[in-house]
Structure formats: C-alpha cells, structure tokens
Amino acid sequence: MSDQRNHILGCACDLYLEDGLEGFSMRKLARQVGVTAPALYRYYEGREEVVLDVVREAYREFSSFLYQALEGRTPEERMRRAGEGYLQFALQHPRWYQMVFLLPDQLGIESFPEDIEDQGAAVHQFWVDRLRECMDAGLLKEDDPDEVAMTLWAHSHGFISLYQNGHLGVDEEGFQAALAASSTRMWCGMATESFARQIRERCCGETADGEPTPAAEQQREWEQGVA
Amino acid sequence: MSDQRNHILGCACDLYLEDGLEGFSMRKLARQVGVTAPALYRYYEGREEVVLDVVREAYREFSSFLYQALEGRTPEERMRRAGEGYLQFALQHPRWYQMVFLLPDQLGIESFPEDIEDQGAAVHQFWVDRLRECMDAGLLKEDDPDEVAMTLWAHSHGFISLYQNGHLGVDEEGFQAALAASSTRMWCGMATESFARQIRERCCGETADGEPTPAAEQQREWEQGVA
DNA sequence: GTCTATAATCCGATAGAC
DNA sequence: GTCTATCGGATTATAGAC
C-alpha cells in the first residue's frame, strides 16, 4: 500500500533532518521504520528514489514558506514577507535549507527529475516577480530583475550559510541583527530615492531611550551633505 | 625520510583536489603514491593526520593570495588587491576555497590543532586591518570593522558559493561582471560621500564606443535628482 | 510482505614475514 | 620500509524461505 510508503518517507525525512545526507543509509532507515533493510525495496527501488522523495518534501516546505508572502496586499509587503519567509525557512529548517541548494552530483545522480527542476525554476520566477513589481511600483530603481535577484540572493545566502556553518561567531540574535543592518544598507543602494528615504527613516530612527543611534547621526550628516 | 612524507602530501593534495573529501581514502592515496596502503602508516598516523596536512596547504595557498595585497601602496590599493586575491583564489582553486571553510566536525574531528586555528584568526585580522585603515583614510564611513567585514564577507562568499555550485546559471565571465556590479553597489553604500562619488565616476562611465551605459544614464539622473 | 542469509564492495587499521 | 594477509566494520542490494 502507498500508506506504508508514506510512513517510510516520513521516517526518511526524520532521518535526514537528524543525521544529514552522509548518515542516510537504507539500514538506518529500516531500523527507524521498524523493519529490516530488504523490506524497503518493496516500496522504493533504492536509496536514490528515497532521497529524491525527501528532496521533494524539502521543496514543498520551502515553497510554502515563500508563497505565503503572496497574501501581502502591496508589492512592498509581499517583498518584505518573502524575505522574512526565506529567513525563517533557513533558521527553522537548516537541513532543508541546505537540501534545496544541493546539486544532482552531490546526491550521486546524473540530473534531477523534471518535476524537481520545475520546482527550482518556480522559486526563481517567484523572486523575479517580486522584484519586477517593486520596480513597477517605483520602490526599486529600474534594473534587470535577474541581476538584482542575484545580488540579493548572494547576500542573504552568504550570511545564512556562514552563520549556519559557525563562521560568524555570533548567536542567532546577533545574526539576525547583523543581517537586518546589512540588508538595509543593501536596499538603500537599490531603492529609488524616495523609497530609500522611507527605509532610512524607518530603520535609522531613534533608539528606545530617545538617543539617536550613531548610525542615524551619521546618516543625517550624510543627508545634509547631499541636500 | 621526510622526503617521502612530502611526496605523500603532494599526492594527497592532488587526490583531494580531484576527488574532494568524500573520495579521499587511504587506499586511493596509496594507489596514487604507488605503494600499498599499510606503507602510508610509516609516515602518517592515520587518515586524519593526512587531511590536516592538506588543510594546512589550503591555508598556506589562501594566505599567499591574500597577503600579496600588502604590496599595495595605499589603503585603497591594498583593499582592491585583497578583494582581487580572494576572488582569484576562489576561482583558481575552488576545492581549496571550500576547504578553508570546513569545520572540524566536517572532517570528523573534535577541533582543529592550534596552528590551524591561528591561521584562520590571522586571515580575519587581515581583513579587519584592511577595513580599519580604509576608515582611517576617510574612504569608508566610520563603523565597526567587524560588522562591515561580515557584510562584505557574506556578499562575496554568497556570490562565489552560488556560482561554484552552479546556481547562478552564468559562465565565469558573467559571474565576474555580476559580482563586480554588485560589489560596486555595496561599496557605494559604505563609502564616504567623496569616495562614493569617485567609485561611481570610475564604474558608471561611458562604454567603449562612447555611448553612456543605461546604468550610467540612470546614475546621472539620480545624482541630478539629489543635487 | 517480511524475514534470514549472503554477495559484492568499500573503508581504516594492524600483524607479521621479508 | 614495504609487502601480503587479514580483521572488523560499514554500505547497497539481491536470493530465496516463510
């Protein structure tokens, strides 16, 4: 029955999320399912087919985190929620985040089945849509959405993967703060002048105790300089 | 003799650069050296010791690419050459680039020996030095060098690792162009106003055939808007 | 459908002959 | 110093009994 196959897939996801891809063996999977290894071959042709089903689950989860952003009512709101969804997916499911960045050869296969390739293309299209509509709405400077997407993606992915691999030497709170500060700088560079002003007013305002932050002071000097 | 140990290390580097870390076994290494596996244990206590020597070679190469930047005669020139060195190291030695980002547990060990930790710390210090002197020279806005280093690092590493994993869908030329454009945007956000103007003049000039680039036109409009 | 048993490969590492 | 032979373990996958 497909019921047992579903149970196996669930265990396979648990196993991957626990031990990663190197520790993912049919024997361990069988132990987790509660049967012996050969029994798995009734439902799956081999290890490769199981892994590909796990990849599909990773994409499904990834997409659900991103596409909830479409509930936002303005281009700005959709973009904000998309970025937030991306970050939350990476933080809440680090192993699945790593999985959607795997290439076929890292799974020991020649190429992905077409349906998985399609999921990747859809995510890319989603981001291009977000950027395109922000440009049309006058929030971002007119530019090639593909190139801007690359910049945003590299910045976010770099931050996240350095953090996840322990190279930043900060805790999650420090990481979120650093990423937010860095993202603001980056958005200001790509935003139209009017939207950049909004961003700065929003982010570089005053601290809780009423003192202007050093960054905000500096920003003000800079704005006075160019005005 | 240490001569044979050196020969083994050379073969070990070749093997790692060819097959990566998963394909790195003592048996394969022995085949490459031209002896049988047990002979290796005359020179190395085990696989772990060999791998750590390969890591040391990776850091040695990495450092040599970075530290040549110290030959530059101004803070700006040293920074430019450091960035160029980082990029060239990543492009010319992708596997060694990956290796200097490995964590102990990805090598199956508890922690790195002290001398390797020291090499990592030295590289970080090198970058903080570059940023500190650019701020002192009035090229970059005064800021926490550690945080700015994080931003630069994340952006570059993100670009490079996405490119190396084939996720950008561009060739090396397109990659270098996209990275340069993206870096310029980022530098403008962190530079002092006078230096940012220099950067823009340098990068958003005219194309070879005398036509202003669309980006340059846009830049000009933007500058007129804020002036 | 599931089991036991097993084939065929890989691995790191060691003992002991030469 | 290098070899042969081997131990003890992992893995994917299959054959055949129940």
Rounded to the nearest integer, the mean pLDDT of chain A is 87
Long-range contacts of B215-219, Cβ-Cβ distance < 8 Å, separation of 24 or more: B215/A143, B218/A141, B218/A142
| Residue A206, pLDDT score | 45
Residue B200: pLDDT above 90? no
Residue A200: pLDDT above 50? yes
For residue B87, which residues of chain A lie inside 8 Å, CB to CB?
Answer: none
How do residues B168-197 score in pLDDT, each as one tens digit?
A: 889 999 999 999 988 987 887 788 989 988
A36 CA to C4 C1' distance (Å): 10
Would you list which residues of chain B are within 8 Å, Cβ to Cβ, of chain A?
Answer: 22, 101, 103, 141-143, 147, 150-151, 153-159, 161-162, 165-168, 178, 181-182, 185-186, 188-190, 193, 215, 218, 222, 225-227
Q: Which two tokens stand for residue B43?
A: 């020179």
Measure CB to CB from residue B218 to each of A142, A157, A166 and give the nearest one.
A142
R_g (Cα) of chain A, nearest Å: 22
Q: Which two tokens stand for residue A66?
A: 């991103």
- The rounded Cα B118 to chain-centroid distance in angstroms is 17
User: What is the arithmetic mean of pLDDT over B2-14?
Assistant: 94
Residue A208: pLDDT above 60? no
Residue A108: pLDDT above 90? no
Measure CB to CB from residue A225 to each of B156, B161, B193 and give the nearest one.
B193
How do residues B207-222 score in pLDDT, each as one tens digit?
A: 444 455 555 554 444 4
Are B153 and A162 inside 8 Å of each other by CB?
A: yes
Cβ count near A11 (within 10 Å): 19
User: What is the arithmetic mean of pLDDT over A48-67?
Assistant: 95
How do residues B56-115 score in pLDDT, each as one tens digit?
A: 999 999 999 999 999 999 999 999 999 999 999 999 999 999 999 999 988 888 899 999
Q: What are phi and psi of B8, to 5 degrees?
A: -60, -45
| Residue B60, pLDDT score | 97
DSSP state of A145: H
Bases of chain D with protein Cβ within 7 A: 1-5, 10-16
pTM: 0.86
HEC profile for chain B?
CHHHHHHHHHHHHHHHHHHCCCCCCHHHHHHHHCCCHHHHCCCCCCHHHHHHHHHHHHHHHHHHHHHHHHHCCCHHHHHHHHHHHHHHHHHHCHHHHHHCCCCHHHHCCCCCCHHHHHHHHHHHHHHHHHHHHHHHCCCECCCCHHHHHHHHHHHHHHHHHHHHCCCCCCCHHHHHHHHHHHHHHHHHHHECHHHHHHHHHHHCCECCCCCECHHHHHHHHHHHHHC
Mutate to test the interface with A, among B160, B167, B197 (most CBs of A within 10 A): B167
Domains in chain A, CATH or no CATH each: 56-167 (1.10.357)
